């Protein structure tokens, strides 16, 4: 199976490197500046599971001239439009696109552009970031991908995907309810992102303050209510685990959105919080804590965009 990894960032770069290490046929589609960096330094992973440095096979957008069997898509949501234009020449009649983006808005955009047959559902659970030297640093030891057909069927092609992703140095799972899995991850991301960004701290710091745990549980309740109203209720086991995680007093947990915020980088506020809020408003749900977090981060995002525009 020929696999195209779109980007060599924190998510795609990590799982793509593990796949290449395991002997899979992997090509990374990257921008020119990232390509030069990777040719010079290689693709480097710093991980609790063992560090890795390899020389990846690279492609630039205008160099794509054939379809791939599988396209793994792990870019940030604000880069999706340009990414779709870049990898479009690699999409053939039987190409499968497996997205590991946050939220659900990307599914509509991918289906609109490439057709429902081309798009699979996917969830990636990994804590990684790019450091100042362009290396991918894994911040915790969990590393899981889940994938499946949107209708839940076990097809010959999804079995091929499963065979390609199994045994590659991370946990891989084929799901017959991938849309529910994606919504459940959305609840987790929106809750943690809203908590960190609104309260300006990690989970342990927030729970050390009187009333902090109530805010954490309140945000979890609001996000779970939206998912439930949209017919994707989180499981009770998931909610129980999240309640324990979000009220831990010794936890340093933060979301990738909050880490981006603290670095002054763009944040996925519209797709992780804004789109979630819109689903709730359409169902006339009251979610004041989620609304406050969205407004908070939206102010940051707009001020960042204005400052960047003024400096150009």
Does residue 110 contact residue 88 with C-beta atoms inside 8 Å? no
* Residue 84 and residue 20 in one domain: yes
Residues 206 and 220 sit within 8 Å (Cβ to Cβ): no
The domain tally of the chain equals: 2
Same domain, 32 and 142: yes
User: Where is 2: in which H helix or E strand?
Assistant: strand 2-6
pLDDT (mean) for 134-151 = 94
Are 87 and 190 within one domain?
no
Domain presence at residue 312: no
Average pLDDT over residues 21-44: 94
144, 83, 143: which is closest to 113 by C-alpha?
83
DSSP for 158-220, written as a single string: HHHHHHHHTTSSSEEEE-S-HHHHHHHHHHHHHHHHHHHHHHTS-HHHHHTSTTHHHHHHHHH
Q: Domain limits at 86?
A: 2-176
Per-residue pLDDT, 242: 97
pLDDT of residue 26: 97
Measured from the Cβ of residue 94, the count of other Cβ atoms closer than 10 Å reads: 11
Q: What is the pLDDT of residues 46-72, one digit of tens each?
A: 999 989 999 999 999 888 989 999 999
Set 66, 76, 159, 185: catalytic member: 185
**169 and 192, same domain (yes or no):** no
CA distance 232 to 279: 12
Which of residues 110, 144, 176 is at a domain's end?
176
For residues 231-247, give the mean pLDDT: 97
Q: Are residues 8 and 103 in the same domain?
A: yes
Percent of the chain residues topping a pLDDT of 70: 100
Least confident range of 31-35, 165-169, 175-179: 31-35
Q: What is the pLDDT, as a whole number, of residue 309?
A: 87
pLDDT, tens only, 68-78: 999 999 999 99
Specify whether 164 is located in the same domain as 272. no
pLDDT-derived band of residue 310, with 50, 70 and 90 as boundaries? confident
**28 and 73 co-located in one domain:** yes
Q: Alpha-carbon distance 232 to 306, whole Å?
A: 37
3-class secondary-structure state, position 117: helix
Verify that 158 and 19 share a domain, yes or no: yes
| CA distance linking residue 267 with residue 261, whole number of Å | 6
* Residue 311 confidence (pLDDT): 83
- Residue 61: what pLDDT? 86
Same domain, yes or no: 223 and 197: yes
pLDDT of 312 strictly over 80: no
Q: How buried is residue 230: exposed, middle or buried, by Cβ count under 10 Å (0-12/13-18/19+)?
A: middle
pTM, two decimals, is 0.93
The Cα–Cα gap between 126 and 80 comes to 20
Whichever domain contains 244, its CATH number is 1.10.1040.10
Q: How far is CA 257 from CA 94, 167, 229, 290, in A?
A: 34, 30, 25, 14
Q: Are residues 97 and 9 in the same domain?
A: yes
DSSP letter at 118 equals G
SS3 category, 51:
coil
18/90 same-domain check: yes
CATH of the domain at 32: 3.40.50.720
Among the candidates 176, 209, 232, a domain finishes at 176
DSSP character string of 227-274: HHHTT-PPPHHHHHHHHHHHT-TT-----HHHHHHHHT----HIIIII
To the query of whether residue 185 is one of the catalytic residues in this protein, the response is yes
For the chain, state the CA radius of gyration. 19
- Beta strand 136-148 with 121-130 is antiparallel
């Amino acid at each position: 199976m020929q696999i195209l990894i779109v980007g060599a960032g924190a998510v795609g770069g990590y799982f793509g490197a593990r796949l290449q290490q395991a002997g899979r046929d992997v090509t990374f589609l990257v921008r020119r500046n990232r390509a030069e960096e990777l040719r010079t330094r290689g693709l480097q992973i710093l991980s609790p599971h063992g560090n890795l440095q390899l020389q990846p096979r690279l492609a630039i957008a205008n160099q794509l001239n054939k379809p791939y069997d599988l396209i793994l898509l792990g870019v940030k949501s604000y880069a999706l439009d340009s990414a779709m234009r870049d990898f479009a020449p690699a999409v053939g009649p039987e190409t499968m696109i497996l997205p590991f983006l946050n939220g659900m808005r990307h599914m509509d955009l991918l289906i609109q552009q490439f057709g429902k047959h081309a798009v699979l559902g996917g969830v990636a659970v990994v804590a990684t970031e790019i450091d100042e030297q362009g290396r991918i640093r894994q911040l915790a030891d969990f590393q899981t991908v889940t994938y499946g057909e949107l209708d839940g069927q076990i097809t010959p092609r999804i079995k091929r995907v499963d065979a390609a992703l199994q045994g590659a140095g991370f946990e891989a799972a084929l799901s017959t309810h991938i849309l529910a899995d994606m919504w459940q991850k959305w609840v987790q991301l929106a809750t943690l992102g809203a908590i960190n960004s609104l309260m300006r701290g990690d989970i342990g710091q927030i729970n050390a303050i009187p009333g902090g745990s109530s805010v954490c549980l309140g945000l979890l309740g609001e996000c779970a209510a939206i998912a439930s109203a949209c017919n994707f209720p989180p499981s009770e086991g998931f909610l129980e685990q999240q309640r324990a995680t979000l009220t831990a007093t010794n936890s340093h947990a933060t979301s990738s959105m909050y880490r981006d915020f603290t670095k002054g980088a763009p944040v996925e506020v519209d797709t992780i919080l804004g789109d979630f809020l819109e689903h709730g408003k359409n169902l006339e749900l009251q979610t004041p804590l989620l609304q406050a977090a969205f407004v908070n981060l939206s102010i940051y995002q707009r001020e960042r965009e204005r400052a960047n525009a003024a400096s150009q």
